[in-house]
Amino acid sequence: AQKVTQAQTEISVVEKEDVTLDCVYETRDTTYYLFWYKQPPSGELVFLIRRNSFDEQNEISGRYSWNFQKSTSSFNFTITASQVVDSAVYFCALPIYNQGGKLIFGQGTELSVKP
Amino acid sequence: DAGVTQSPTHLIKTRGQQVTLRCSPISGHKSVSWYQQVLGQGPQFIFQYYEKEERGRGNFPDRFSARQFPNYSSELNVNALLLGDSALYLCASSLDVGDEQYFGPGTRLTVT
């Protein structure tokens, strides 16, 4: 089965706290990518990152970092020193390449950062 | 460069009616995908087109159809609307099949 699970439905933190969003995936492919998207209240999905299954090095982009572990089928996303503007729904997604690259999304994690 | 654009932004229709949603991809992108997002859930794949050919279809009834034009823009048609079709319809474009997909702002469809 090809599946993405984001077990955390809602997370609430106070500004400047660090927060980690979990993503667990299932795939029968030996080579695959994983994506993270941000969906602010406006509704538009914003692409954040694409990771290849060959590369398990952590990725850092400013306050954002991603930890990819094939052994646990997880691709977690950490926001350091969270800000109110980080409030959004975050989705982890798995592309299925033998079906045109369609994205399988998790249920999403709603992050609320309070001042 | 302009991102993915969709029209209209909002739409209200009555049960049984038909609706057409439009999408223009990022310049140079040849692949367009459509997703349906019901409130509180992740987007669900409907269709993917590449070079005007359907490359993927999700688990949606035949009331849903789409096409891609020579300029790579796309239309999604839904016939015989049901209340359950009320959702945010998202269009995404990518350079090629399997590349990262960039999403438009969506069309919010309400069926009454």
- What tens-digit pLDDT sequence spans chain B (112 residues)? 689 999 999 999 999 999 999 999 999 999 999 999 999 899 999 999 998 999 889 999 999 999 999 999 999 999 999 999 999 999 999 998 778 899 999 999 999 9
Q: Which residues of chain B lie closer than 8 angstroms to A43, CB-CB? A: 88, 105-106, 108
**pLDDT (mean) for A27-31:** 89
Q: Are B97 and B31 in contact (CB under 8 A)?
A: yes
| B75/chain A closest Cα distance in angstroms | 18
Q: How many CB atoms lie within 10 A of CB B28?
A: 9
Question: What is the distance between the alpha carbons of residues A33 and B35, in angstroms, rounded to a whole number?
Answer: 19
- Tell me whether residues A103 and B88 touch, CB distance under 8 A: no
A-chain residues near B90 (CB < 8 A): 45
pLDDT of A29 = 87
Give the pLDDT score at B69: 96
**Tens digit of each residue's pLDDT (9 = 90 or more) over A4-16:** 999 999 999 999 9
Q: What angle do CA A78, A95, A113 make, to 5 degrees?
A: 25
pLDDT of residue B54: 92
> What are B92's strand-pairing partners?
B33, B103
Q: Is B33 in contact with A102 (Cβ distance < 8 A)?
A: yes
Q: Which residues on A lie below 8 Å from B59 (Cβ)?
A: none
| Burial class of residue A107 in the structure, from the number of CB atoms within 10 Å of its CB (0-12 exposed, 13-18 middle, 19+ buried) | middle
Contact A106 B92 (CB under 8 A): no
Of A43, A50, A105, the CB nearest to B105: A43
Specify the length of chain B in residues.
112
Average pLDDT, chain A: 93
**pLDDT tens-place string over residues A42-90:** 889 999 998 888 887 888 889 999 999 989 999 999 999 999 999 999 9
Averaged pLDDT for residues A29-39: 92
Task: Tell me what pLDDT residue B61 has.
Answer: 97
Question: Distance, in angstroms, between B7 CA and closest chain A CA?
Answer: 13
What local confidence, expressed as pLDDT, does residue B49 receive?
A: 93
- Nearest CB neighbour to B88, from listed A43, A103, A107: A43
What pLDDT does B85 receive? 98
